[in-house]
A = this chain, B = another copy of it.
Amino acid sequence: MVEYSRFFADRVKPMKGSAIREMFKRMADPEIISLAGGNPAAELFPADELSKIAGKILMTSPTLALQYGTTDGYSKMKDCAKSRAEKVDSFKDGDEILIMTGANQGIDLTAKAILNKGDKVIVEDPSFIGSLNAFRSYECELVGVEVENDGMDMDKLEEALKNNSGVKFIYTIPTFQNPTGTTMSLEKRKRMLELASKYDILILEDNPYGDLRFSGEDVPTIKSLDTEGRVIYAGSFSKILSPGMRLGYIVGPAQLCEKIEMLKQVNDVHTPMITQLMCVEFMKKYNIDKYIEKNRDLYGKKCKVMLDTMEETFPKGKVEWTVPEGGIFLWCTCPGIEDITPIVDACLEKKVAIVPGSNFAVDITAPSNKFRLNYSAVEQAKIEEGVRRLGAVLSELL
């Protein structure tokens, strides 16, 4: 038999399966309460509405729904995505919009259109593992910049830009960041744009959680503040309609979108038609913002349950955490220890799952004293119980 490893491209040789996925395998035990996921709340999915819509579309527009579509996306779906982007002033003159099979595809193909081997990307450290691994798959170098409670540290960003040539873009999730739950201040957003202009680089703004604010005031997207066409904007329907439908979009200058479209054409040709048509029809018949509001309210309540229980059960002075104003994650640090791994393992023994911080780091081999918690996917009673179990472990081991 063939020894396959000799055929592997250099880009995949260092790739390892996500440790989060490995943990999910260990979590098959139904008694485990998972605060480790990143799923939206399934209890709010508009399944009845989508059921009627899907049945009707296939009756009334069978050819449209089942035949090949265009790579850039179904025109009415493009309008729907554009309306979401325009709602946050993030579609500009000269921009194009491309429908993606989930925003992650947009991030992957944007990276593919831009990154040569050895190019550098500046990222928040920690950041979303799916994007980091997409960038890594083009053999670029990731340069991490620390995240503070009000977003990426701008002085350290400037330092990174000074010390690194070959940076093509900054990747940021400025609003309700994954994994930290933090939101970048307006001032920092402006500063990031100034720095991008000064060092002549691009910004890839990933905004999957922006609609999910449950407290505080909206902050303009970086894209909306951009006057030079430096920002590529990735939007998603995963957290406001359904992740299983895999619908996202990219907004960017036409010149770049043309290249991304060609890469999508040789990737999945086009996003499935039925999911696009379902989204269009849902947005036509129902007020999606009303639906999003329900999600916000629920996530606000769930977050509060989590924070209240943490306050009550975590050992005093031994754990620090972020207080999100929206989104689905919060981020904990245990300043007194070096490595969270024994705690994560002890948690699994006590039937509660959390994700160790190293997964989200630029250097995934360095020990981390941090962990991520998710509240969107879990029922409120289970959040409370899960955090209690976690609090007991922390009290014992810290």
Contact of A48 among B4, B59, B266 (CB under 8 A): B59
Residues of chain B contacted by A16 (CB below 8 angstroms):
262
Contact of A268 among B18, B58, B102, B169 (CB under 8 A): B102
Q: List 26 A-B contacts (CB under 8 A).
A: A2-B230, A4-B229, A8-B113, A9-B113, A11-B116, A15-B263, A17-B258, A17-B261, A21-B265, A39-B67, A45-B63, A47-B58, A50-B66, A51-B54, A51-B56, A52-B55, A67-B243, A102-B268, A104-B266, A117-B117, A244-B274, A245-B273, A246-B268, A246-B269, A246-B272, A272-B272
A47 close to B67 (CB less than 8 A)? no
A52-88 interface code vs B (CB 8 A; 1 in, 0 out): 1011111100111111110100000000000000000
The chain B residue with its CB closest to the CB of A267 is B108
Contact of A54 among B17, B55, B108, B230 (CB under 8 A): B55
- Which residues of A from 246 to 263 have beta carbons under 8 Å from B? 246, 253, 255-256, 258-259, 261-263
What is the CB-to-nearest-CB distance from A49 to chain B, in angstroms, rounded to a whole number?
A: 9
The chain B residue with its CB closest to the CB of A2 is B229
Whether A173 sits at the interface, judged by CB under 8 Å, is no
Residues of chain B contacted by A138 (CB below 8 angstroms):
9
Copy tally for this chain in the complex stands at 2
Whether A42 sits at the interface, judged by CB under 8 Å, is yes
B12 close to A266 (CB less than 8 A)? no
11 additional A-B residue pairs with CB within 8 Å, beyond A2-B229, A12-B259: A8-B113, A11-B112, A21-B71, A39-B67, A48-B59, A50-B62, A67-B244, A104-B267, A130-B269, A133-B265, A245-B274
Residue total for A at the interface (Cβ-Cβ under 8 A): 93
The chain B residue with its CB closest to the CB of A276 is B244
Contact of A69 among B5, B244, B268 (CB under 8 A): B244
What is the CB-to-nearest-CB distance from A249 to chain B, in angstroms, rounded to a whole number?
A: 13
